[in-house]
Structure 1
Amino acid sequence: MLHSSYIEISKSALQNNIDFIRREIGPDVQFSSVVKGNAYGHGIEQFAPLAQACGINHFSVFSADEADRLLKNIPQPATILIMGYLDNPELEWAIRHDMEFFVFELDRLQEASAMARKLGKSAKIHLELETGMNRTGFDKAALARAEAFLASHRSEVELQGICTHFAGAESMQNHERVLRQLQKYYRQVARLQQAGHLPRQRHTACSAAMISYPETRMDMVRVGIMQYGLWPSPETYSRYISRQQEKKDPLQRLINWKSRIMSLKSVPQGEYIGYGTSFQAPRDMVLAIVPVGYAWGYSRSLSNQGQVLIKGTRAAVVGNVNMNVMMVDVTDIPDVEKDDEVVLLGRQGKESITVASFGELSTQLNYELLTRLPLNIPRYIID
Structure 2
Amino acid sequence: MRGTSYIELSRSAAENNFAYLRELVGANTTISHVVKGNAYGHGISTYLPLALELGAKHFSTFDAQEAFLVHRAIEGQGNIMVMGMVEDEELEWAIEHGIEFFVFDQQRLENAIRIAKKLKVKALIHVELETGMNRTGFGKDEFDQVIRLIQANPDALLVKGFCTHYAGAESFANFFRVKTQYQRFKKSVKLFNKSGIESEILHAACSAGAVRFPKSRFDLVRIGIMQYGFWPSTETYIEKIKPKGMDNEDPLRRVISWKSRVMNVKTVKQGEYVGYGMSYLAASEIKVATVPVGYGHGFSRSLSNTGRALVRGNRVSVIGTVNMNLMLLDVTPLDNVEKGDEVVLIGNQGDLSISVSSFGDFSDQLNYELLTRLPRDIPRSVID
TM-score range, shorter chain: over 0.9
Q: CA deviation at 1:163?
A: 0.4
**CA displacement, residues 120-158 of structure 1 (integer Å, 9 cap, x when unaligned):** 111110000111111111111122211121111122111
Where in structure 1 do 4 or more consecutive aligned residues deviate above 2 Å? none
Query: Corresponding residue for 1:134?
Result: 134
Q: How many Å apart are 1:377 and its aligned residue?
A: 0.2
Q: Which residue of 2 aligns with 1:158?
A: 158
Structure 2 counterpart of 1:353 = 354
Mapping of residues 1-383 of structure 1, within 5 Å: 2-247=2-247, 248-383=249-384
Query: What code does the residue aligned with 2:63 have?
Result: S
What letter is aligned with 2:375? P
Q: Which secondary structure does the structure 2 equivalent of 1:288 belong to?
A: strand
CA distance in 1, matches of 2:251, 2:304: 32
Measure the CA separation in 1 of the matches of 2:67 and 2:51.
Answer: 15
**d(CA) in 2 for partners of 1:179, 1:349:** 45
Deviation at 1:73, TM superposition (A): 1.3
Mapped to 2, the partners of 1:268 and 1:303 lie a distance apart of 20
Matched letter for residue 121 of structure 1? V
Question: Which runs of 5 or more structure 2 residues have no equivalent in the other structure?
Answer: none
Structure 2 counterpart SS, 1:314: strand
* CA RMSD between the two structures: 0.9
What letter is aligned with 1:329?
A: D
**Structure 1 unpaired stretches of 5+:** none
CA distance in 1, matches of 2:49, 2:136: 30
From the superposition, tell whether residues 115 and 76 of structure 1 become closer, same or farther in structure 2 (CA, over 3 Å).
Answer: closer
Deviation at 1:255, TM superposition (A): 0.6
1:246 shift after superposition: 2.3
State the identity %.
50
CA distance in 2, matches of 1:287, 1:202: 56
How has the CA–CA distance of structure 1 residues 24 and 45 changed in structure 2, closer, same or farther, with 3 Å as cutoff? same
Counting matched residue pairs gives: 383
Amino acid at match of 2:349: Q
2:157 partner amino acid: V
Q: Secondary structure at the match of 1:373?
A: coil
C-alpha contact 1:49 1:75 (8 A) present in aligned 2:
no
Cα deviation code 1:68-122 (max 9, x no counterpart): 1111111452100011110112111101100000000011111111111111111
CA distance in 2, matches of 1:70, 1:30: 18
Distance in 1 separating the partners of 2:42 and 2:288:
30
The 1-side partners of 2:144 and 2:273 are apart by 66
Q: Secondary structure in 1 aligned to 2:18?
A: helix
SS at match of 2:347: strand
SS across alignment from 1:243 = helix
